[in-house]
Amino acid sequence: MTAAIRLLVVDDHPVVRAGLSMLLAADRSIELVGEAASAAEAVVVAQRRHPDVVLMDLQLGDGVDGVGATRRLLALEPAPRVVILTTHESDADVLASVEAGACGYLLKDAPAADLIDAVRTAARGGTVLSPVVARRLDERRRTPQPTLSGRELDVLRLVAEGGTNRDIARALFLSEATVKSHLVHAFGKLGVTSRTAAVATARSRGLIR
């Protein structure tokens, strides 16, 4: 008999966690081994319970989002497979998740059968994308745009929040000179010459929210 897939559900909303847990644990091929509300809690539970697959929300309440949590989980040994399950479908979120190593990206309006299939596919080593996300990625491949690095996106997100170079340097543990360098590179890739234009262009392209 094939062993059940060990699943960890990570979401900062208790009702959502409970609903997902009940739904997925009802399937005989899946064994719910834990729930977590934050990145730190997810790592602790994963270290203790060794899930095969983690369903990960993007927006968590402890300052570290689902992308950061995914990076932490994939640094474990053995590392679980991580499937993002979220309401967000921007290019920035999708690309950040893929760069972090997530093997899947689903939206929370997915049918129950699709969620169960996604867990099974991830456990087998496959990749899972919602139809909307798959179309967006296909469109990007057909109309390639300059790719901003993860750090350049981090800097632009903080610029969008009104941060000065000094604020951004402190938040990202960088020097102000490094922040300026990231901005210059981002300006060049986006074809702009100001912080305001960079933020507006990045938002229009779905690179940041």
Give the CATH number of the domain where residue 199 resides.
1.10.10.10
Please give, one letter per residue, the 3-state secondary structure of 132-196: HHHHHHHHHHHCCCCCCCHHHHHHHHHHHCCCCHHHHHHHHCCCHHHHHHHHHHHHHHHCCCCHH
Residue 18, CA distances (Å) to 25, 50, 131 in order:
10, 20, 26
Q: 167 and 65 share a domain? A: no
123, part of any domain: yes
pLDDT score of 1: 57
56, part of any domain: yes
pLDDT score of 144: 60
The C-alpha torsion from 93 through 94 and 97 to 101, rounded to 10°, is -170
Q: 18 and 81 share a domain? A: yes
Q: What is the pLDDT along the chain (209 residues), one digit of tens a residue?
A: 578 999 999 999 999 999 999 999 889 999 999 999 999 999 999 999 999 999 999 888 777 888 889 999 999 999 999 999 988 877 778 878 888 889 999 988 888 999 999 999 999 999 988 887 777 777 766 666 667 888 898 999 999 999 999 999 999 898 988 999 999 898 888 888 889 989 988 887 778 87
pLDDT score of 53: 96
pLDDT score of 79: 94
Count of structural domains within the chain = 2
Q: 133 and 193 share a domain? A: no
User: Which structural domain, as residue segments, surrounds residue 134?
Assistant: 5-141
pLDDT score of 89: 75
Domain boundary among 107, 141, 175: 141
Domain boundary among 122, 141, 160: 141
Q: 109 and 156 share a domain? A: no
Q: 166 and 121 share a domain? A: no
| 121 C-beta neighbours (distance < 10 Å), count | 17
Q: 67 and 164 share a domain? A: no
Q: What are phi and psi of 189, to 5 degrees?
A: -70, -35
Q: Which residues of 182-204 are buried (b: 16+ CB within 10 A; e: fewer)?
A: bbebbbebbebeebeebbebbee
Q: 115 and 42 share a domain? A: yes
Q: 126 and 173 share a domain? A: no
pLDDT score of 135: 77
Q: 73 and 155 share a domain? A: no
Q: 81 and 171 share a domain? A: no
Q: 71 and 174 share a domain? A: no
pTM: 0.70
pLDDT score of 88: 80
